[in-house]
A and B are shown apart, each in its own frame.
Chain A
Amino acid sequence: KAGVTQTPRYLIKTRGQQVTLSCSPISGHRSVSWYQQTPGQGLQFLFEYFSETQRNKGNFPGRFSGRQFSNSRSEMNVSTLELGDSALYLCASSPYNDYEQYFGPGTRLTVT
C-alpha cells in the first residue's frame, strides 16, 4: 500500500504571499491531520478532517485553513505568510479515531 504523499516537498515564499500544500492519505484512510514542526515549538496540531468535515482545530490564527475532498485528499492554505511560518508541515492519515497515524514526508516551507 502506498504511503502518505505530500506535495510540494520544498517551497520558498516571500512574506505576504500565500501558499497551498497538498496531501494524499493512505488508500482507505478517511482522517487527515496536519501538523507544524519547528525547532522551538516541536510538533503542533493544526487541524483534522474526516469525511470532508473539520472536526478539530489547533491554536493557530485564521490565516491557516484547510479542506478535504471527497477522495480524502486534503489541502492546507496559509495566507499572508510571515517569517515565523517557516516550518516543516506534516500531514498524517489514519483509518479510525484515536488510532495510529502515519506521516507523509512533509513540506519544508521557507518564508523570506
Chain B
Amino acid sequence: QKEVEQNSGPLSVPEGAIASLNCTYSDRGSQSFFWYRQYSGKSPELIMSIYSNGDKEDGRFTAQLNKASQYVSLLIRDSQPSDSATYLCAVTGGYSTLTFGKGTMLLVSP
C-alpha cells in the first residue's frame, strides 16, 4: 500500500516568514512529485512539480526532493495571508495515479 505522510498542522507562521512543509512517501518506485494548494471549498491547484533530486524554484516557492530519504518538501518564502490553505503532497509511480497525503493546513497571520 503506497502511503504519503504529512503533518496535518496547522502550521502557523507570521506574514513575511518562510513556511516549510514536509512530506514522506513509502513507495521507492515513485517517480513524480507534486504540491497542490487547496483553499476551503475549492479544488486542488497545482503549484509545484519535481521529478529529480534537488531543488526546484518557482517564484516564492521551492520544492526539494530527496529520493534516498523518500522525502519531499515545499518552502514558501515571504508568506502572505493569501497563502493560508491546505497543502497537499502527491506522488505517482505509474500511469497517472496520484497518491495524496492528507494535507497540511497553513495559516499565515498578518
Question: What residues of chain A have their CB less than 8 Å away from a CB belonging to chain B?
Answer: 31, 33, 35, 42-45, 48, 50, 55-56, 58, 88, 90, 92, 94, 97-106
Contact of B31 (CB < 8 Å), options: A55, A94, A98, A103: A98
Interface secondary structure of B, over-half rule: loop
A33 touches B96 (CB 8 A): yes
| 6 sampled A-B residue pairs with Cβ under 8 A | A33-B96, A56-B94, A90-B43, A98-B96, A103-B45, A105-B42
Number of A-B contacts (CB under 8 A): 67
Contact status of A48 and B96, CB under 8 A, knowing A100-B34, A100-B49, A105-B43 = yes
Chain A to chain B: the 4 pairs with minimum beta-carbon distance, closest first? A43-B100, A98-B32, A103-B43, A42-B102
Contact status of A104 and B43, CB under 8 A, knowing A43-B88, A56-B94 = yes
Contact of A101 (CB < 8 Å), options: B46, B93, B101, B103: B46
Interface secondary structure of A, over-half rule: strand
B98 touches A35 (CB 8 A): yes
Which residues 80-110 in B have Cβ within 8 Å of A in the complex? 88, 90, 92-103
| B-side interface residues, number (CB < 8 Å) | 24
Query: Does B10 count as interface, using CB distance less than 8 angstroms?
Result: no
Residues of A within 8 A of B99 (CB): 45
Alpha-carbon separation in the docked complex, A56 to B31 (Å): 17
Alpha-carbon separation in the docked complex, A15 to B42 (Å): 26
Query: Does B44 count as interface, using CB distance less than 8 angstroms?
Result: yes
Contact of B92 (CB < 8 Å), options: A88, A98, A103: A98
Residue of A nearest to B36 (CB): A103
Residues of B within 8 A of A99 (CB): 32, 49, 96
Alpha-carbon separation in the docked complex, A58 to B96 (Å): 12
Alpha-carbon separation in the docked complex, A71 to B93 (Å): 26
Contact of A100 (CB < 8 Å), options: B43, B46, B102: B46
Chain B CB count within 10 A is highest, among A50, A58, A103, A105, for A103
Alpha-carbon separation in the docked complex, A67 to B5 (Å): 31
